[in-house]
Structures are given as C-alpha cells and as structure tokens.
Amino acid sequence: MIAIENLLTDDVLWAYSGKVGHCCCGCAGKYSYNSKNRTLGMERGYHITDADVNDTEVKRTLQLMQECSAAVWKIAHDQWTLKIGDSLYMLMSL
C-alpha cells in the first residue's frame, strides 16, 4: 500500500477538484486524467475525452495532497481525499 507522500504523478489515474457537500459526479467539480494512464482509465470503463486529460491538474492536486498529507484521508486502497475549506480534492492511483 503506497502512502500519499510516496505517490508519483505517473501512479495517478485521475484527480478530482470540486466542492464539499456536493456529489462527485462532475456537476460541481472536474475530473482530470493522467495522459500516461488514459488507456487504462478507458479499459476500466471511464469515457475520457481529450478535454478530460490534464497532466498539470493531476500534478497540482497530488502536490497539494502531499503538502497537506496530515489532513488526507485514504478512503479506499487506491483513493485519497482532502477537504480544504469549501474545496474537495480526490485522487485515484493505479
């Protein structure tokens, strides 16, 4: 099991940035997919368009979660979440 501090950008499938208290379907936030793992995401059933791929946002979200690692919650073996004020951040790793 990888700790958030040891996660590399290449290990991330997607990052999510949205609002606390809303669903995570994308209506109140945005999913950004790692270009290196796009095919894997599609194999898992995600519909990923070119507009959904944003390596900069994946890296930014990972760095934010690593800087605030004491406040990050591991919600599944491959998912983490972080709440800062009204903002919600999530990551899914490979």
Interval 19-78: pLDDT, tens: 999 988 888 899 999 999 999 888 888 889 999 999 999 999 999 999 999 999 999 999
What local confidence, expressed as pLDDT, does residue 1 receive?
62
Instruction: Answer whether residue 2 shows pLDDT above 80.
Output: no
Q: Based on the structure, what is the number of domains in the chain?
A: 1
The sheet that has 79-84: what strands, in order across it? 29-33, 12-19, 87-93, 79-84, 73-76
13 lies in which domain range?
4-93
Residues facing residue 17 across a β-bridge: 30, 89
